[in-house]
Structure 1
Amino acid sequence: MMRHEFKKYDKYKDSGVEWIGKVPFNWISGRIKDFADINVSTRIPTNLTNDDLVEFVPMTNVNNNIGRIEKFNFVPLKAVSSGYTKFKNRDVIFAKITPCMENGNCVIVNGLSHDIGFGSTEFMVFRSFRKLTEEYLHYFLHNDLFRQNAEPFMKGTAGQKRISSQYMTTHYLALPPISEQKTITNYLDTKTTQIDKKIYLLTKKVDQYSELKQSLINETVTHGLDKTVAMKDSGVEWIGKIPEHWEKKRVKDLFVESKIKSVTGQETLLSVSEYSGVTQKKDNVGNDELLTNAITLVGYKICKAGELIINIMLAWKRGLGVSSFDGIVSPSYAVYSPNKSICSAYFHYLFRSNRAIVEFKRNSTGIIESRLRLYSDNFYSIDVVIPEYKEQKAIANYLDTKTAQIDRIVETINTEIEKLKELRKTLINDVVTGKIKVITEGE
């Protein structure tokens, strides 16, 4: 196996490009169009008929990890022969729209059965022709400095900004000799593959812990903490067997909708997440982001700690939770006050369990999934099961402790994943900008 090591270049020079700065002395600078064609025309092979299947690449099929098309979709040629981006094997396709551009949706195309493929019109196509390898261009387009320099020139509305072909053709880059490009890309191929493998394995661990957490919640909120207690049929299809001393109730017997509205709009703004339940909105936005686009928060719904908040459009996707805060929520959310006989923390876990989410979806109204709504009448009609108050509280306390332990483990793993992603970025940035030199063993 070839081994690589780093050292500084012996001599640097000014690249003449402000954002690039100094580059190794033997590197050359130029515009992308000096080294590659962009959006070059690609002819459809004459031996293909309209009914022949060809590869099609939606934006979502380009993994934002380094250089990978997750899969090809196969469609009849007549469906994509006009109005779509065309490319060949070895072309570099690059997403020009946010957020895909920032995420690095860029790949070298390989494996096209007819040497022609089709994709979203949001792809740009680059074809190297001199002094630039496809592999090096591919890594350059993943370079953070390039993306940060390009972002101010993107045009369009927030979330739908695009970088223009004109900007890309005239954008400058610094290039090492071809032999050095190959050394660099071989090194980056090896290192990014190793890093990606570690990220994949750690991500699988996160998934496993997430499944463990949900399994623990599902089991505990329906079977309780005492595994020796006698069980009975609950009479509720979505729950199944329960401890024989538990009761069946309808939601309407336990919660009442609160429709109190804010007069001042000055209360703490809350949000509902499928991942974390109810949180304070200020904890989920960056320093340069607005809490809300609303002109005023007057008329938002008042919520008290212990009340249940449901985003009626996302109940089927776990968009609900019991609040730990006093505050206000969107007028389109539903707020429910629990009666004094129940521990709302228990219902936070029950209503966010996998079984409950399936039941919420079944009781939601709408033609397509993205338009489902869980209105109060349908929510009230759902049957649930509950132990006595003391046991509800014990279950909630137990799950607080256990889920917090799992969350801490997941947070540690996610921190390691972010470190690996940052390492990958740093390696690419430093090598393709000439900050460090990659040499093979024996040089």
Structure 2
Amino acid sequence: MSCRMSLRNKRIVNDSTKYGRLTIMQQPIVHTYSLGELYTERKEKGDPLLPILTVSIHTGVSEGELDEDKLGKKVKRIADKTQYKTARKGDLVFNMMRAWQGAIGVVRSAGLVSPAYIVAKPNEKIWPEYMDYCMKTPRMIHAIHRQSYGVTDFRLRLYWDSFTPITCQLPPLPEQQKIATILSTQDKVIELKEKLLAQKQQQKKYLMQQLLTGKKRLPGFCEKWTRKQLGELFENRVEINRSDLGLLAITSTRGILPRDCLDLKDNSSEDKSKYLRICPGDIGYNTMRMWQGVSAYSEYEGIVSPAYTILAPMEGVYSRYFAYLFKTQSVIFSFYRFSQGLVDDTRNLKYENFKKISVSIPSKVAEQRAIVQILSTADHEIDLLQKSIEAEKQKKKALMQLLLTGKVSVRI
């Protein structure tokens, strides 16, 4: 093992209060097995009394039967359940066609799986929950990809005879149990924070529905709202030949950011003379996708693709308020109605049509600012929670790298 260890990993090793005592191992106590030494194929006919389970790349094996509306459009259930395969608690199940993408996991409670799946029954050498994590490591996914057969990735299949030669390293059974407990505890931390995030996002949605429609008024404001056409509030900024400015990207969820901050392929044209200038306080929107809510307030000066429309607020217009207003369902529906195109894929909302849309807004800018203050506070809380969740996911990743490779041992 390398004598070097990342700072994050050292912190995790030293965190005995949360994970129990973790010990750096110079010579880890592990045994190498082929999966054929750990599993036998289960070929048990489907039991009609059991629920139908699904295997997801992201969430593994479902803990019960999913509702029809949560299944993918291509998923068709078989009326005769006996044609399915039975999978028992602790079995390892994988989709032959997508195992190399991570569609593999351990069954938490008995159920049925597609006849196109393979069901592997574990022996006494392994703790199933440990293997659930082990099979999702980059090393194992790479081994599965290498063992899958097909002319292209689209046609790759992992058959039983290709699955059994794959090797993995296992610590003693008590250590497997302890490692699984540590990782599942970390999963619960992430799950709880994700539930809290969903609640915060729902609360913000409710606030927007109430505050941006006038259904709920803030204390101290009682003036009647006014109705304005958007052309009275924003003009179309069309300033080109500003290649000296940095390239920005307008996103539906993260707002407007410098293009180099996004981990995306740069498809922009080399000739940026036709790109549009956008200034702090402007709102930019995707002309082809405004009816889907793709617009954002800009904190930056820069240039964006000519596929966007830039809205410059007129004097006295508080554009932050309108950045929120443009995300409400009623206003997005107006964008849809005023967009032109034979089908949704060709719909576009040019400024000439945008300016005709009328909206109801607080007549006092002070009320607009008060509403934005509440919504921006909600955004800040959501942003902090998202960063916290990402940190917990990175912590789990580090734990998996340490515990599932034998670099660190747990004291039983």
TM-score (norm 2): 0.70
1:141 to 130, 135, 138: 135
Alignment of 1:195-206 (within 5 A): 195-206=186-197
SS in 2 for 1:186: helix
Cα-Cα RMSD: 4.7
User: Aligned pair in 2 of structure 1 residues 55, 365: CA closer, same or farther (>3 Å)?
Assistant: farther
Greater strand share, structure number? 1
1:77 paired with 2:75, answer no
Q: In the alignment, what sits opposite 1:63?
A: 59
Q: In the alignment, what sits opposite 2:35?
A: 32
2:397 to 425, 439, 443: 425
1:273 paired with 2:247, answer no
User: Aligned pair in 2 of structure 1 residues 350, 135: CA closer, same or farther (>3 Å)?
Assistant: closer
Q: In the alignment, what sits opposite 1:118?
A: 114
1:375 to 346, 349, 374: 349
User: Aligned pair in 2 of structure 1 residues 417, 342: CA closer, same or farther (>3 Å)?
Assistant: closer
Q: Aligned letter for 1:77?
A: I
User: Aligned pair in 2 of structure 1 residues 143, 316: CA closer, same or farther (>3 Å)?
Assistant: same
User: Aligned pair in 2 of structure 1 residues 333, 9: CA closer, same or farther (>3 Å)?
Assistant: closer
User: Aligned pair in 2 of structure 1 residues 63, 380: CA closer, same or farther (>3 Å)?
Assistant: same
* 1:88 positional shift: 3.1
Q: In the alignment, what sits opposite 1:91?
A: 91
1:416 paired with 2:388, answer yes
Return the alpha-carbon distance in structure 1 between the equivalents of residues 368 and 148 of structure 2. Answer: 49
Return the alpha-carbon distance in structure 2 between the equivalents of residues 293 and 315 of structure 1. Answer: 20
* 1:348 positional shift: 1.7
Return the alpha-carbon distance in structure 2 between the equivalents of residues 267 and 328 of structure 1. Answer: 6
Tell whether the 8 Å contact from 2:94 to 2:105 is kept in structure 1 after alignment.
Answer: yes
2:320 to 332, 342, 345: 345
Tell whether the 8 Å contact from 1:300 to 1:329 is kept in structure 2 after alignment.
Answer: yes
Return the alpha-carbon distance in structure 2 between the equivalents of residues 330 and 125 of structure 1. Answer: 50
Return the alpha-carbon distance in structure 2 between the equivalents of residues 216 and 278 of structure 1. Answer: 23
Q: Aligned letter for 1:251?
A: L
Q: Aligned letter for 1:336?
A: L
1:254 paired with 2:229, answer no
Return the alpha-carbon distance in structure 1 between the equivalents of residues 196 and 339 of structure 2. Answer: 33
1:238-263 per-position Cα deviation (integer Å, ceiling 9, x unaligned) = xxxxx32x321222343344555x44
User: Aligned pair in 2 of structure 1 residues 204, 337: CA closer, same or farther (>3 Å)?
Assistant: same
Q: In the alignment, what sits opposite 1:109?
A: 107
Alignment of 1:194-233 (within 5 A): 194-223=185-214, 227-230=219-222
SS in 2 for 1:55: coil
Return the alpha-carbon distance in structure 1 between the equivalents of residues 211 and 299 of structure 2. Answer: 21
Q: In the alignment, what sits opposite 1:187?
A: 178
* 1:428 positional shift: 3.8
1:306 to 258, 277, 281: 281
1:98-147 per-position Cα deviation (integer Å, ceiling 9, x unaligned) = 9x977x6542135455xx4118x7x7765546844543322211335545
User: Aligned pair in 2 of structure 1 residues 307, 76: CA closer, same or farther (>3 Å)?
Assistant: closer
Tell whether the 8 Å contact from 1:315 to 1:373 is kept in structure 2 after alignment.
Answer: no
User: Aligned pair in 2 of structure 1 residues 280, 86: CA closer, same or farther (>3 Å)?
Assistant: farther
1:244-293 per-position Cα deviation (integer Å, ceiling 9, x unaligned) = 2x321222343344555x447553222222223222222233xxx54436
Return the alpha-carbon distance in structure 1 between the equivalents of residues 149 and 291 of structure 2. Answer: 36
Q: In the alignment, what sits opposite 1:172?
A: 167
Q: In the alignment, what sits opposite 1:17?
A: none
* 1:384 positional shift: 0.8
User: Aligned pair in 2 of structure 1 residues 433, 324: CA closer, same or farther (>3 Å)?
Assistant: closer
TM-score (norm 1): 0.66
1:320 paired with 2:295, answer yes
Return the alpha-carbon distance in structure 1 between the equivalents of residues 35 and 333 of structure 2. Answer: 52
User: Aligned pair in 2 of structure 1 residues 297, 431: CA closer, same or farther (>3 Å)?
Assistant: same
In the alignment, structure 1 segments of 5+ residues that lack a partner are 13-22, 231-242
Tell whether the 8 Å contact from 2:282 to 2:298 is kept in structure 1 after alignment.
Answer: yes
* 1:349 positional shift: 2.5
Return the alpha-carbon distance in structure 1 between the equivalents of residues 80 and 347 of structure 2. Answer: 35
SS in 1 for 2:198: helix
User: Aligned pair in 2 of structure 1 residues 164, 255: CA closer, same or farther (>3 Å)?
Assistant: same
Tell whether the 8 Å contact from 2:247 to 2:302 is kept in structure 1 after alignment.
Answer: yes
* Matched pairs, number: 381
User: Aligned pair in 2 of structure 1 residues 10, 364: CA closer, same or farther (>3 Å)?
Assistant: closer
